[in-house]
């Protein structure tokens, strides 16, 4: 998602012009360009707002903060598609099977792969914490703030929404709704903490 400047109103499609806001996005775009130059038979997957039961990510951060706080301030003016790494892995396996089985596959290039539906960071946080509370896990109230109230080293796009329609058409894989994917990961984390 960092390869775009975030100025578009709707979801980005693969054909939209790239315009990274900073060094991080520029390095991602340079990586895409290097892969494309090295092999015309490539598949590049762009994704956004990735989380999982493992490593450091937004879901785990919200649960950790909720264990210690009554209220968490979360940015409400940046939009994207929460995307489970578990779903990304499933999609990659399906794409690999298609490439293995279809020797005539020719639709190489860039694809977007993101959770179905969109939200802002505070909506994402609310769903994480509401799910956690329903499962007996930590909960905190979410307070909406503006990006300007939460300065970061790297500038983030206001809009990181990605359309996965091209990937779905090429590989027959449809992302689950972001809410159900979040619920599955929060349930797994809650169970593991008991």
DSSP secondary structure string for all residues of 85-114: HHHHHHHHHHHHHHHHH-TT----EEEE--
Radius of gyration from C-alpha coordinates of the chain: 18
By CB neighbour count within 10 A (0-12 exposed, 13-18 middle, 19+ buried), where does 181 fall? buried
| Residues involved in catalysis | 24
């Amino acid at each position: 998602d960092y390869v775009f400047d975030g100025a578009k109103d709707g979801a980005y499609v693969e054909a939209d012009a790239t315009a990274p806001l900073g060094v991080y996005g520029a390095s991602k775009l340079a990586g895409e360009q290097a892969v494309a130059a090295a092999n015309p038979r490539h598949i590049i997957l762009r994704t956004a707002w990735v989380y999982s039961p493992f490593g450091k990510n937004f879901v785990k951060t919200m649960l950790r903060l909720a264990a210690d706080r009554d209220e968490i301030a979360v940015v409400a003016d940046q939009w994207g598609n929460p995307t489970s790494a578990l779903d990304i892995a499933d999609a990659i396996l399906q794409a690999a099977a298609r490439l293995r089985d279809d020797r005539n596959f020719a639709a190489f290039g860039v694809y977007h792969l993101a959770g179905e539906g969109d939200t802002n960071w505070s909506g994402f946080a609310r769903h994480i914490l509401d799910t956690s509370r329903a499962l007996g896990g930590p909960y905190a109230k979410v307070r909406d703030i503006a990006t300007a109230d939460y300065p970061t080293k790297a500038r983030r796009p206001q809009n990181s929404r990605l359309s996965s329609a091209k990937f779905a058409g090429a590989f027959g894989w449809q992302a689950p709704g972001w809410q159900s994917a979040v619920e599955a990961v929060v349930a797994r984390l809650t169970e593991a903490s008991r």
